[in-house]
Amino acid sequence: MPNVLHAHQSHLFFPLHPPISAVHCKTEAFHFPQSMAPVNLRTNLSVRRTVKCMANPRRVKMVAKQIMRELSDMLLTDTILQHAVLPEAALGADRYLSSLTTISDVEVSNDLQIVKVYVSVFGDDRGKDVAIAGLKSKAKYVRSELGKRMKLRLTPEVRFIEDESMERGSRVIAILDKIKAEKGSEGGSETSDTPEDDPDEDIIYIQIANVDMSTFSGDETAPFFGFLGAAAALVFSCMGAAYGTAKSGVGVASMGVMRPELVMKSIVPVVMAGVLGIYGLIIAVIISTGINPKAKSYYLFDGYAHLSSGLACGLAGLSAGMAIGIVGDAGVRANAQQPKLFVGMILILIFAEALALYGLIVGIILSSRAGQSRAE
């Protein structure tokens, strides 16, 4: 029995002939001859349906970024691709760098079928031609490697396109620098070390920003962290001392109205809270005396050590002050009503004070680490 196509609307059967009916991947079309189609369907004999496989724009961007990372890694590690870009490398030459190849951008089509790789090549004309030709010749190899690295079910077709935007930008920068240098030399002495006809006028100059490496070694920014640590030690410790003194003082004043004979006995929380500021003062003085870049090199290691020292002491003093204030306020009020609670209150205050003492000890140890970044 020959193959037939069933039309559900008219309940008719039409034989299918390969020359008449056609089915495409992207466009699906059904054609029937005029003589065999029903009357009500002769006005619209071709029914077409277009199927568009469009990926999510976010996924397209993610795929493009991953392809760019993988291609950059292949240019650095894949010997086959390196020999295609730089044929001199296969000869074992010591200096074979005739061009510098950089992937400037990657564009992936919305259907993930085609990827355009924009390549910038710096160097002479021969190096550019060889690099671009080598990349294009290895397009299939690059596609297969991308499929293995990225584990894609369908790897897009790779097309390498030369991008001259970076080269043009470097030329513009070189021209602007030349004009700026000429204007600066007009007011000074006329000393021309280069001839008018520069034989290297075709060389591409790339300007690199002048970076003071002392910034990275810490000679400029390290004292900032050191002074910040000294300030943190004193400020946070004094904040804790102030809170503890105020909170305990309110309780003492409230209790002293009814039991004035217990005021001097209940002043212990205020004294213990005030000691916290002394801890911060000690660390601040130690840190500030250790910062003297003129007498001794002061590096980032030293600055970080002093910063951590100040934070350890200051924040420990702040937490201890809050504990002393709350316990002291409630303790002196309860002690006025029940004198037997005095010993328990003192023990609680001692353990709260120990928190700040821990911070002081750690702060001293950390501040002593400063100056050990390099062997003297």
Per the CB < 8 A criterion, the answer to whether 219 and 292 are in contact is no
pLDDT of residue 39: 53
Q: Is the pLDDT of residue 373 over 70?
A: no
Domains of the chain: residue spans and CATH: 4-50 (no CATH), 57-166 (3.30.300.20), 217-369 (1.20.120.610)
Q: Which of 106, 29, 93 has the alpha carbon at shortest distance from 65?
A: 106
pLDDT tens-place string over residues 275-324: 999 999 999 999 999 888 777 788 888 899 999 999 999 999 999 999 99
Q: Which residues, 6 or more positions from 242, have their beta carbon under 8 angstroms from its beta carbon?
A: 321
Residues 269, 247: Cα–Cα separation, whole Å: 9
Q: Supply the mean pLDDT for the chain.
A: 76
Residues 259, 334: Cα–Cα separation, whole Å: 12
pLDDT category of residue 215 using cuts at 50, 70 and 90: very low
Question: Quick one: how far is CA 138 from the chain centroid?
Answer: 33
Per the CB < 8 A criterion, the answer to whether 256 and 336 are in contact is no
Residues 267, 260: Cα–Cα separation, whole Å: 12
Q: Is the pLDDT of residue 127 over 90?
A: no
Work out the average pLDDT over 143-154: 84
Q: Which residues pair with 122 in a beta bridge?
A: 100
pLDDT category of residue 60 using cuts at 50, 70 and 90: confident
Tokens 């600066």 belong to 184
Q: Which residues of 253-271 are buried (b: 16+ CB within 10 A; e: fewer)?
A: eebbeebeebeeebbbbbe
Q: Give the angle 53-59-62 at the CA atoms, nearest 5°.
A: 140
Work out the average pLDDT over 54-68: 82
Per the CB < 8 A criterion, the answer to whether 310 and 232 are in contact is yes
265 or 358, which is more confident? 358
Q: Which of 327, 319, 329, 363 has the alpha carbon at shortest distance from 347?
A: 327
Tokens 């006329």 belong to 190
Q: Which of 39, 7, 1 has the alpha carbon at shortest distance from 21?
A: 7
Q: Is the pLDDT of residue 114 over 60?
A: yes
Residues 193, 275: Cα–Cα separation, whole Å: 70
Edge-to-edge, what's the strand order for the sheet holding 46-50? Answer: 22-23, 27-31, 46-50
pLDDT of residue 365: 94
Tokens 């001392």 belong to 241
Report pTM.
0.44
